[in-house]
Amino acid sequence: MHIVVVGLSHKTAPVEIREKLAVPESRLGEALNRLCGYSGIKEGMLLSTCNRVEVYAVVEELEAGYSRIQEFLADAHLSVSSEQLTPHLYWQTGDRAVAHLFRVACSLDSMVVGESQILGQVKDAFEMALTHKTTGLILNKVVKKAITVAKRVRTDTRIAETAVSVSYAAVELAKKIFSDLRDKTVLLVGAGEMAKLAARHFIASGVRHVRVTTRTPQHAVALADRFSGTAVPFEQFREEMAAADIVLVSTGAAHYLVGSDDVQRAVKQRMNRPMFLIDISVPRNIDPAVRHVDNAFLFDIDDLKFRVEQNRGGRLQEAEQAEHMVVEEVGAVRQWLKSLEVTPTIVALKSRVEDIKRAELEKALGRLTRLAPQERDLIEAMASSIVNKLIHNTMITLKSEVASADAAAFVEAARRFFNLAEVSSSEDLEIEAPTTRTNANKPG
């Protein structure tokens, strides 16, 4: 029984391949059933996003399992053959497969480290697998653990705290000027994509008053409708600026629309309440001299980009801490997986009953001091016989179920009935070290 992951991601495959393999949500169920229809695949989960297509599975035999899954992936698209996929795929098993899932869920493997979407996608993939009953004891435990680890990483590290998009960086900066955005007014000048996105971020952060102005009045009205704000005539927006706490400018104009005098006047009208101006236009639409106006804070696209770069750097630092957490948690899963194996369970079972037998014998023989050696032997033999007969059927069942799909469940049950502790992680680690196949050493 091996836990494996086979798949490709933005790190190993170009979008042309990824889009071919991606499974649309409507066909996920069918795909899952097809995956688990292959012989030797006990459990399966399919994670398909625009950045990765991965199959997590529990397989009976490693090599056979790998090739089944590769076949399954190639089946997704007519124009893709199994061989064509080989250079883009990665294969992992054991600890590495678990660690891979954890890193993916924690967004450590994402294009933008720390992004929050992937955790939701992992949850959805798991839900889908649960609905189609394609996961079992092992994947359920491991995926649930991955979700917990990802949550822990988000709360315990600052990996997702900072803005990594230009439009969101604007909101983050605004929060250093205004502590509460709810009663603030945003004036949107022009209808540039980035500015619209930023306006949307501001609204999501609580801003309730939006004013819009564009050169074409109809556009302004339409946009104002979309943000449930009000339209302002373009000719007047400079005079209206004092009413806005946040001014977002992004037009196609080739010259400065807002000068230092305009801002000076607005700040004065505002009785020196601070003002936040964001110029996302190229060429710039706000005179850079506005920087020297007191209580007005001007940021242009480069400032925002710089902030984003800084935040990315910060996230990578936090990622290191997250990696440590992943390693820790993988250790815990390894221990649990080990406890599901049949042989160590039989060993543990034997030693457990042996311990009980010895303890009870010592107690009894301690009281019966005047026994002849033969009598002692007889009592000991009887004790051995009782415990062996008691566990005999359990052992036979465990041994016979080694290869069955329910082996893990039987082991888990035996461990609970006989109160067997989980196996220590140091035990025969060397022998059971996870085998990994990568592109480099994959035969054929």
Partner 1 sequence: MAAVFFMVTMALYFAATVSFLALLVRRADALSTFSLTITAVGFATHTVALVTRMLTGPGASSPSIHEALSFFSWMLILVFLAVEFRHRLHVLGSFIVPLALVSLVSAAALPDTVPTLQPVFRTLWVHVTLSMLGTVGFAVAFVAGVMYLIQDGLLKSKRFNVLYSKLPALDFLDDLNQQSIVLGFPLLTLGIITGAISAEFARGSYVNWNPEQTWALVTWLFYFVVLVGRLTVGWRAKRAAYLTIIGFAGVVLTLIGVAIKSFGSVS
Whichever of 80 and 301 has its CB closer to partner 1, that residue is 301
Q: How far is the CB of 325 from partner 1 (least distance, A)?
A: 15
Q: How far is the CB of 314 from partner 1 (least distance, A)?
A: 9
Burial of 130 (0-12, 13-18, 19+ CB in 10 A): middle
Residues in CB range of 375: below 8 A, 6 or more apart: none
The answer to whether residue 106 is catalytic is no
Question: Does 291 sit near partner 1 (CB under 8 A)?
Answer: yes
Binds partner 1 (CB under 8 A): choice among 254, 271, 421, 440? 271
Amino acid code (one letter) for 10: H
Binds partner 1 (CB under 8 A): choice among 67, 121, 230, 295? 295
Whichever of 300 and 329 has its CB closer to partner 1, that residue is 300
Size of the site for partner 1 (CB under 8 A): 20
Q: How far is the CB of 438 from partner 1 (least distance, A)?
A: 37
Cis check: omega of the bond before 24, within 30 degrees of 0: no
Task: From residue 32, give the alpha-carbon distance in Å to each of 80, 109, 287.
Answer: 19, 24, 58
Q: Which of residues 299-328 bind partner 1 (CB under 8 A)?
A: 299, 303, 306-307, 310
C-alpha–C-alpha distance, residues 302 and 317, integer Å: 23
- DSSP E strand boundaries for 96-157: none
Question: Does 391 sit near partner 1 (CB under 8 A)?
Answer: no
- DSSP E strand boundaries for 49-199: 52-59, 90-93, 185-189
Whichever of 152 and 291 has its CB closer to partner 1, that residue is 291
Binds partner 1 (CB under 8 A): choice among 131, 216, 272, 400? 272
Q: Which of residues 169-188 bind partner 1 (CB under 8 A)?
A: 173, 175-179
Q: Which of 86, 295, 95 is nearest to 177 (CA)?
A: 295
Q: Which of residues 92-131 bind partner 1 (CB under 8 A)?
A: none
The 3-state secondary structure of 44-58 reads: EEEEECCCEEEEEEE
Phi, psi (deg, nearest 5) at residue 50: -70, -15
Whichever of 6 and 293 has its CB closer to partner 1, that residue is 293
Whichever of 144 and 175 has its CB closer to partner 1, that residue is 175
Helix axis angle, 137-156 to 94-105, nearest 10°:
50
**Other CB atoms within 10 Å distance of the CB of residue 259:** 14
C-alpha–C-alpha distance, residues 254 and 284, integer Å: 8
Q: How far is the CB of 80 from partner 1 (least distance, A)?
A: 46
Phi, psi (deg, nearest 5) at residue 272: 70, 15
Helix axis angle, 301-339 to 137-156, nearest 10°:
140
Q: How far is the CB of 279 from partner 1 (least distance, A)?
A: 13
- Part in contact with partner 1 (CB under 8 A); list of ranges 71-79, 87-95, 201-209, 264-272: 264-272
C-alpha–C-alpha distance, residues 13 and 6, integer Å: 13
Residue 4: in which H helix or E strand, if any? strand 2-9
Whichever of 148 and 272 has its CB closer to partner 1, that residue is 272
Catalytic residue among 19, 27, 33, 50: 50
Q: Which of residues 200-229 bind partner 1 (CB under 8 A)?
A: none
Whichever of 230 and 295 has its CB closer to partner 1, that residue is 295
Residues in CB range of 63: below 8 A, 6 or more apart: none
Whichever of 118 and 153 has its CB closer to partner 1, that residue is 153
Binds partner 1 (CB under 8 A): choice among 16, 25, 235, 294? 294
Binds partner 1 (CB under 8 A): choice among 133, 273, 305, 376? 273
Q: How far is the CB of 401 from partner 1 (least distance, A)?
A: 49
Q: How far is the CB of 178 from partner 1 (least distance, A)?
A: 5
Task: From residue 417, give the alpha-carbon distance in Å to each of 10, 333, 414.
Answer: 46, 21, 5
What is the three-class DSSP state of 230?
strand
Question: Does 297 sit near partner 1 (CB under 8 A)?
Answer: yes
C-alpha–C-alpha distance, residues 190 and 249, integer Å: 6
Q: Which residue has the tokens 């054991």?
A: 94
Interface ranges with partner 1 (CB under 8 A): 173, 175-179, 270-274, 291, 294-295, 297, 299, 303, 306-307, 310
Catalytically active residues are 50
